[in-house]
A and B are shown apart, each in its own frame.
Chain A
């Protein structure tokens, strides 16, 4: 895996990808079969062509017809360049509903996914055809259940918790941006986010955070998500702020209620 990644910026890489694509088309009709193996994910020219059409309708307004990005006259970025972001970025952004964006804002929120899985694949194939970038990871090959939860927790607290909080509740960034909650997010998308660094998030590629380490982080997140709260209601698992509110509103509030009852005369 790392050997491929290290060489994917090689000038010949694009040619190799193109050749491979031709071989795949020439030798098999199975290209349209639903993805289950790594080879099946290699994009066909039909996919790229379909993706280009979809892109021109849904994405080009901001990102430009060839994904080169657009900058407004005042210098602000309307849509960043997508050249080299790779299929993984598309699968993440479109697959979580962040793209297409409803309106320009500090950050793209998740919402209803606008495209079918097939269309997302086509879009990904088109963007991947612009320039080499991270491919859609084969998440099934990573056995999440074999992950080391304790090590994943340590890695999460080292690399991720400063933005996403200790169990992935999310948190505030500067000027209205935010680190989203990781609860209920598909493992595939967590992996892709680490790989591609969407929006404000920095990149944790497979060299700086190995696939097994990513697997452990996902395993940790799954474990804490599934874990019940032994102490009762979790109140967001967010520490002193909700705890303080509960102590005041429910605790002191309730006790003052009791005090009022004690202080009134019986009828």
Chain B
């Protein structure tokens, strides 16, 4: 032990004398990181990215990004004598003539699927807990950008082996590019170096895949982590956990061991999946030939929703200036991603503007306490999932024995109808949970013990909540809609930007108009005076107790004047 300390001491001394390292170490080595499983989702993404860099470097030693045609004469006999690109034949070489090559190919591909899946669930966690709020908007933006870059890199990598499956995907991309008005054919010609498919695109995709996009992701990951480190991690509400502190385990040694260990687990899961489950067997797909296709042609999962959108979109083409405008392709392939991504990227600012909440937030929201935001998130997931299923409609058709045309028609209607329904249902569930929380605080939890009064009335005994539990469900801030200033001030001068403020007020009451407020002190006292078990539990109170009406109705104070921040630990 002492040898370790001595050794470390010498290194620290050397570095410190040159770059004052101890100063930084002193402030950072015990950085507190809160414990919660959902805080580790981003780490899965980070660690898969490292696995991708390692395995990708290995693959690059053998892979030849060339579309030069060769006659295959390698170890895989079923394809011997067939003409194919060098890219495809070197992929076969990697799989069948390099020991561990197939393992690395499979690790790389599984890690890519996990990387994107982990980024997605991480982003959902950030969204549903409100961790994107001030001061973390920048990291939200960086994260969303990395998700987009990840999809780009996934797709370029999927295309590199030049197999029949991915080649068909590239053809579909070309079809999407051609749909761009005015310049579609030009963009396609520049991208493919002439006519589709040409013999350039593999080498062009290669440099994008191995240098350009990974470089950008690496830079953004660095910024993402530095900002996270500087701002300190968010945490859940709880005793002693407030907006002004962070409670967790010290980075060194606990999180060095836990995160370091988790890296190995992520690497291990990827490796074990690659040992046991085959992925992308390109030798079965065969080399790409634009005149051939196979049933069950699908992109990897993260592009699936776009393919699904292409499948469910009805045919629609209009003529402008005598030229075709393929809205049936343009909308799902180019406009839909824009419609999804723009609100996604700017959501933190959108919500800030609507709610007028510009304060810093370090304590996470429980999703139920933001019914509208949670509803929006679930509606989006529904929309995405439906398009995703539509992208595999031929599999759904064969596995569940449903005519594919019915599935397409169902999806056409469902992508429009189901998300609003899911929004409404989710919001009602959130409000119900809020009401239950409020009930528990006011009257305790149901104990299951039934009492009979002398009058013969049955009632259930309610056990009071512990102080800690009660604090946890009431630690969130009260939410109030933005109040509209009067039309004119006292001098009769009209308020500026009245119309936009009206929109804002309406949106704000859409967000917070019907949230169930936590009880006030007066309500709590009143409930305790009344005894347990006779509360009405409608979430709005009905005037029992001596509280002033405004407070009693759970109607909070104007923003900025109420208690913003938990009182913090009492010394």
Contacts and interface: CB of A to CB of B under 8 A. Distances in A.
B118 A153 contact: no
Contacts of B393: 172
Interface string B64-88: 0000000000000111111000000
B479 interface: no
Interface string B87-120: 0000000011000001000100110011001100
Interface in A143-177: 149-151, 153-154, 157-158, 161-167, 169-176
B277 A256 contact: no
A153 B398 contact: no
A197 to B, nearest CB: 18
B320 to A, nearest CB: 32
B280 A239 contact: yes
A202 interface: no
Contact of B298 (A235, A239, A264): A239
A248 B102 CA distance: 22
A165 B165 CA distance: 11
Contact of B78 (A223, A237, A252): A223
Interface in B245-304: 258, 261-262, 265-266, 269-270, 273-281, 284-286, 289, 291-301, 304
Contacts of B38: 259, 263
A144 to B, nearest CB: 15
A150 B82 contact: yes
Interface stretch (B144-152, B399-407, B486-494): B399-407
Given A178-B398, A254-B269, A263 B82 contact: no
Contacts of B371: none
Contact of A260 (B37, B106, B113, B394): B37
A169 B297 CA distance: 12
Contacts of B262: 258-259, 262
Given A106-B403, A171-B394, A233 B280 contact: no
Contacts of A158: 291-292
Nearest to A260: B37
A201 interface: no
Contacts of B289: 157
A176 B278 contact: no
A131 B265 CA distance: 69
Interface string B151-190: 0000000000000110000000000000000000000000
Contact of A235 (B117, B265, B277): B277
Nearest to A156: B286
A179 interface: yes
A65 interface: no
A231 interface: yes
A26 interface: no
B78 A240 contact: no
Using C-beta atoms within 8 Å of the partner chain, give the interface range for chain A: 35 or more
B300 A154 contact: no
Given A162-B293, A171-B394, A248 B117 contact: yes
Interface in A215-241: 220, 223-224, 227, 229-235, 237-241
B298 A240 contact: yes
Contact of B278 (A231, A260, A263): A231
Contacts of B300: 240, 243-244
B279 A174 contact: no
B392 interface: yes
Give the residue among A173, A232, A250, A265 with the most B Cβ atoms within 10 A.
A232
B395 interface: yes
B286 A153 contact: yes
A224 to B, nearest CB: 7
Contacts of B401: 176
A174 B292 CA distance: 20
A251 B294 contact: no
A255 interface: yes
A102 to B, nearest CB: 15
Given A171-B398, A230-B95, A263-B39, A161 B294 contact: yes
A255 B118 contact: yes
A265 B113 contact: no
A247 B286 contact: no
Contacts of A32: none
Given A166-B284, A239-B280, A255-B118, A246 B82 contact: no
A174 B286 contact: no
Nearest to B396: A172
B111 to A, nearest CB: 9
A149 B276 contact: no
A215 to B, nearest CB: 15
Contacts of B395: 172, 238, 241
B295 A247 contact: no
Contact of B284 (A233, A237, A241): A237
Nearest to A154: B82
Contacts of B81: 150-151
B39 A165 contact: no
A165 B113 contact: no
B121 interface: yes
B29 to A, nearest CB: 20
A229 B296 contact: no
Nearest to A149: B78
Contacts of B392: 241
A230 B282 CA distance: 12
B26 interface: no
A223 to B, nearest CB: 6
Interface centre among A165, A243, A255 (most CB of B within 10 A): A255
B265 A255 contact: yes
The residue in A151, A176, A231, A254 that gathers the most chain B C-beta atoms within 10 A of its C-beta is A231
B467 interface: no
Nearest to A229: B278
A153 B35 CA distance: 54
B131 interface: no
A115 to B, nearest CB: 26
Nearest to A148: B81
Contact of B286 (A106, A166, A171, A176): A166
A264 to B, nearest CB: 8
Given A232-B275, A247-B113, A247-B301, A153 B296 contact: no
Nearest to B401: A176
Contact of A153 (B40, B44, B78, B281): B78
A233 B297 CA distance: 20
Contacts of A233: 276-278
B80 A262 contact: no
B21 interface: no
A227 B398 contact: no
A255 B114 contact: yes
Interface of B: 35-41, 43-44, 77-82, 95-96, 102, 106, 109-110, 113-114, 117-118, 121, 164-165, 258, 261-262, 265-266, 269-270, 273-281, 284-286, 289, 291-301, 304, 392-395, 397-398, 401-405
Given A157-B289, A244-B301, A256-B37, 6 more contacts: A149-B78, A157-B294, A175-B405, A230-B95, A239-B165, A264-B37
10 contacts: A151-B81, A224-B78, A230-B102, A230-B278, A237-B278, A243-B301, A251-B113, A255-B114, A258-B262, A263-B36
Interface of A: 106, 149-151, 153-154, 157-158, 161-167, 169-176, 178-179, 220, 223-224, 227, 229-235, 237-241, 243-244, 246-248, 250-252, 254-256, 258-260, 262-265
Closest 6 pairs between A and B when the two form their complex, measured CB to CB: A171-B295, A231-B278, A244-B301, A247-B113, A263-B37, A176-B403
